[in-house]
């Protein structure tokens, strides 16, 4: 019922607009100034007596009334209740994803046997590898530094197992172990 009413109203408005546009030049000018989206409802104009040049009143002129269509035709209006929506395209980013694996180098520490510096590899919030970049060398220091490296370094070393700098001291390499722990702490502080 509602659709039929809207269709008939739309048809009447379009028919009226056509009649007004095709009408006489005087009414055509008025019709051009009306908004096209609103239906046009012509009303009879007021009767004004016309006078001839001598000032004698003659018969009044009346603007013609717009005829109405006797039979409605098919309307192309969209039925009520339907809605047209447009969806926005999904956003794309051109920024490359950041790698979650990073290398962090701790501060270097000097002891009486030499210089010690440690680097850790962090993935997310876990230490996945530890590497001694520098350990004391020469004489017995090579042996003790090798023991420290074997205990702490690598993917399966004590640093990865404990995930902190609270490491067990390597027997016979106390100074090197302590310097390693200090460098490791500074790397962990920088990473987390």
The predicted structure's pLDDT at residue 47: 46
The predicted pLDDT at position 108 comes to 97
Q: Where are the alpha helices (DSSP H) in the chain?
A: 2-22, 25-33, 140-152, 158-162, 174-191
Helix 174-191 and helix 140-152, axial crossing angle in degrees, nearest 10: 40
Instruction: Mark residue 188 as left, alpha or beta (left: phi above 0; alpha: psi -120 to 50; beta: remaining).
Output: alpha
Q: What is the pLDDT of residues 81-100, one digit of tens each?
A: 656 666 766 666 666 666 68
pLDDT for residue 190 is more than 90: yes
Least-confidence region, from 33-37, 84-88, 93-97, 153-157: 33-37
- Give tens-digit pLDDT for 95-138: 666 668 999 999 999 999 999 999 999 999 999 999 999 999 99
Cα torsion angle, 147, 151, 132, 181, sign: negative
Q: Are 112 and 90 in contact (CB under 8 A)?
A: no
CB atoms within 10 A of CB 22: 10
- Mean pLDDT, the chain, as a whole number? 77
Percentage of the chain beyond pLDDT 70 is 56
Residue 143 has pLDDT above 60, yes or no: yes
- Quick check: 27 pLDDT over 50? no
Cβ(141)–Cβ(172) below 8 Å: no
How many angstroms separate the CA atoms of 181 and 184, rounded? 5
Task: Give residue 12's pLDDT.
Answer: 76
77 versus 134: which is more confidently predicted? 134
Residue 46: predicted pLDDT: 47
Question: What pLDDT is attached to residue 77?
Answer: 57
What pTM did the predictor assign?
A: 0.51
User: What pLDDT does residue 5 have?
Assistant: 74
Neighbours of 167 (CB within 10 A): 20
Q: How far apart are CA 152 and CA 158, in angstroms?
A: 5
């Amino acid at each position: 019922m509602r659709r039929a009413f809207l269709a008939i109203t739309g048809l009447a408005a379009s028919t009226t607009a056509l009649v007004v546009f095709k009408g006489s030049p005087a009414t055509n000018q008025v019709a051009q100034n009306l908004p096209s989206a609103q239906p046009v409802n012509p009303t009879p104009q007021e009767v004004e007596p016309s006078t001839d040049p001598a000032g004698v009143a003659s018969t009044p002129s009346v603007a013609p009334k717009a005829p109405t269509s006797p039979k409605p035709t098919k309307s192309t209006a969209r039925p009520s209740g339907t809605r047209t929506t447009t969806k926005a395209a999904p956003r794309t980013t051109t920024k490359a994803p950041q790698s979650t694996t990073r290398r962090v180098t701790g501060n270097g520490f000097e002891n009486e046997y030499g210089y010690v510096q440690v680097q850790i590899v962090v993935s997310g919030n876990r230490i996945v590898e530890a590497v001694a970049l520098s350990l004391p060398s020469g004489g017995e220091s090579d042996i003790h530094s090798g023991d420290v490296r074997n205990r702490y370094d690598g993917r399966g070393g004590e640093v990865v197992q404990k995930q902190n700098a609270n490491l067990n001291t390597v027997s016979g390499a106390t100074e090197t172990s302590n310097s390693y722990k200090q460098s490791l702490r500074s790397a962990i502080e920088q990473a987390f």
